[in-house]
Amino acid sequence: MFQLTDQPIDPRALCDAVRDPAAGGFASFEGWVRNHHQGRDVTSLEYEAFPALAQKEGNRILEEICAQHDIIAAHCVHRTGHLQIGEIAICIAVSAAHRDAAFSACRSIIDSIKSTVPIWKKEHYTDGTAEWVKCHACSDHALHHNH
Amino acid sequence: MKGLLLIGGKSSRMGSDKSELILRDGLTQKQRGVALLNCVCDEVFISTCEDAGEPNTIADAFGPIGPLGAIASAQKADPDSAWLILACDLPLLEKEQLEILIENRSSSHDATYFSSASDGLPEPLCAIWEATSAKAVQSAIAKSKQCPRSVLIQLNGHALPSPGLWPLANTNTEADLIEIRARLDQSTTAKNITVSYFAQLRELTGTNSESLQTDTVTPAGLFEEIRAKYQLPLKRKGMMVAVNGDFTDWSHPLSEDEEVVFIPPVAGG
């Protein structure tokens, strides 16, 4: 199940949510707010979602990846709003009978969420400025294409 | 004044040749482009990749580097002439727009061009490039900076007001083509659409949501209208679109009362 929240994420609760007697492996991923990005000092991050579609797309990804791997349960929570350094922006929890499936599903989930779920982040910098973060490919393109 | 028709770069070499499309007057885009240029130029040439030895063609002298190479090749063929450069894939362009260019030409500038409806920047491929622009063209090519628009931005150019969104609309994507065909068939009708904005787009437009009336027929056309309205520094490429809460194609046929959300590259996680 995919969820958006404007409250701090509790990774323990997410771990408990995927707990199962048949599970022999558990993998999780947490995305944390980092104090730097591409050489700039970051003070905080703001996440904004297109909630209805983010919810739908997040669930679609979880269902698709669970169908591809031998997974018992997979949950993901993504935070919205203004986050401080060190806070958890996203937490993914996956349980499976064996470790391979848990590891690879967890990895696929974060990669897919980053590429299609409509959530955006704005970085606030130490110099007081702020910018919506572009994907790497796009910012590379912008560098070559100055207009 | 000499005219040079650009008939497409890599895509034509890959087999989908925009210049052979017939969209109006029973003419291919290439034939129509030549006819338009003939109305206002003394002599008209077609830009080609390789030297086919045909009359009134100018072969790329700088390799397959796109429109700027074609412009440089024309300037090499006749360094003293001004060149009216025209892309062939502008089906809604009329003779009148070329006449406006010619009438307002300023030969004391390096170029005369229209400003883009969507971002106010120069439109390089329906523009007069004076002989004095050749140095900047050469220097850009030497630095492997092959964007004609960037060259025009640096030059001392004479900018004319935008002729509007549609005369310079091109046929780059399937959605562009649908939008242009609807205009040629005059099959567009006014409809009310709700557009919601999130994140960067919410800040740039200054609103969460708006209802607007549009005669565009696809989200692609609607985005171009909105881009022009707010002068958005965003291009459709790399973006996604949702209609009524689901991802869809840029060529989705818009209907009355639909809800559209434009989705710039996402950055969750």
Domain CATH code at residue B148: 3.90.550.10
Average pLDDT of every residue of chain A:
92
Report pLDDT for B16.
60
Claim to verify: residue B126 and residue B10 sit in the same structural domain: yes
Chain A residues touching residue B267 (CB < 8 angstroms): 114, 119-121, 132-135
Residue B144 contacts A where some CB pair is shorter than 8 Å: no
Mean pLDDT across the stretch B91-105? 97
Q: Quick one: pLDDT band at residue B9, thresholds 50, 70, 90?
A: low
Mean pLDDT across the stretch A103-111? 97
Residue B261 contacts A where some CB pair is shorter than 8 Å: yes
Residue B115 contacts A where some CB pair is shorter than 8 Å: no
Mean pLDDT across the stretch B37-44? 97
DSSP string, B174-196: HHHHHHHHHHHTT----EEEEEE
The answer to whether the CB atoms of A113 and B198 lie below 8 A apart is no
Flag whether B166 is in a domain. no
CA distances from A46 to A76, B21, B247 (A): 19, 47, 24
Contact B178, B169 (CB under 8 A): no
Claim to verify: residue B32 and residue B138 sit in the same structural domain: yes
Q: How far apart are CA B87 and CA B104, in angstroms?
A: 20
- pLDDT tens sequence across B190-215: 999 999 999 999 999 999 999 999 99
Question: Residue A78's closest chain B neighbor by CA?
Answer: B269
Claim to verify: residue B44 and residue B104 sit in the same structural domain: yes
Claim to verify: residue B141 and residue B180 sit in the same structural domain: no
Residue B189 burial (CB count, 10 A): 10
User: DSSP state, B50?
Assistant: S
Q: Does domain A2-144 have CATH number 3.90.380.10?
A: no
More confident residue, A145 or B42: B42
Report pLDDT for B257.
98
Taking Cα atoms as reference points, which of B178, B32, B143 lies closest to residue B98?
B32
The pair of three-digit structure tokens given for residue A128, joined into one six-digit string: 């007081």
Report pLDDT for B89.
93
Tell me what percent of the residues of chain B surpass a pLDDT of 90: 88
Mean pLDDT across the stretch A15-25? 98
Average pLDDT of every residue of chain B:
94
Instruction: Name the residue facing A117 among B199, B200, B266 (closest C-beta).
Output: B266
Claim to verify: residue B211 and residue B117 sit in the same structural domain: no
Flag whether B269 is in a domain. no
Claim to verify: residue B153 and residue B178 sit in the same structural domain: no
Domain CATH code at residue B179: 3.10.20.30
- Count the domains in chain B: 2
Nearby residues of A80 by Cβ (< 8 Å), 6 or more positions away = A4, A5, A6, A47, A48, A49, A119
Report pLDDT for B49.
86
Claim to verify: residue B145 and residue B188 sit in the same structural domain: no
Q: Find the helix or strand (DSSP H, E) in which B68 lies.
A: helix B67-77
Q: How far apart are CA A24 and CA B194, in angstroms?
A: 49
Q: How far apart are CA B262 and CA B138, in angstroms?
A: 39
Is residue A147 pLDDT above 80, yes or no?
A: no
Claim to verify: residue B179 and residue B156 sit in the same structural domain: no
Q: How far apart are CA B89 and CA B18, in angstroms?
A: 7
Longest dimension (CA), chain A: 57
Is residue B40 pLDDT above 50, yes or no?
A: yes
Is residue B128 pLDDT above 80, yes or no?
A: yes
Contact B103, B24 (CB under 8 A): no
- pLDDT tens sequence across B143-160: 999 999 999 999 999 999
The owner of tokens 């920047």 is B121
Report pLDDT for B232.
93
Chain A residues touching residue B246 (CB < 8 angstroms): 53, 56
CA distance, residue B191 to nearest chain A CA (Å): 24
Chain A / chain B CB contacts < 8 angstroms: 87
Claim to verify: residue B91 and residue B15 sit in the same structural domain: yes
Contact A79, A6 (CB under 8 A): yes
Task: State which of B160, B192, B208 marks the end of a domain.
Answer: B160
Task: State which of B133, B160, B187 marks the end of a domain.
Answer: B160
Report pLDDT for B50.
82
Which of left, alpha, beta for B165 (phi over 0: left; psi -120 to 50: alpha)? alpha
Mean pLDDT across the stretch B19-33? 93
Report pLDDT for B114.
98
Instruction: Please report, for chain A, the start and end positions of each structural domain, with discontinuous segments joined by +.
Output: 2-144
Task: State which of B136, B160, B184 marks the end of a domain.
Answer: B160
Report pLDDT for A37.
93
Domain limits for position B209:
174-263
Mean pLDDT across the stretch B164-193? 94
Mean pLDDT across the stretch A39-51? 97
Chain B residues touching residue A110 (CB < 8 angstroms): 269
Instruction: Provide the ipTM.
Output: 0.90
Residue B247 contacts A where some CB pair is shorter than 8 Å: yes
A70-84, B52-66, B189-203: segment of lowest average pLDDT? B52-66
Contact A93, A13 (CB under 8 A): no
Instruction: Name the residue facing B267 among A52, A110, A133 (closest C-beta).
Output: A133
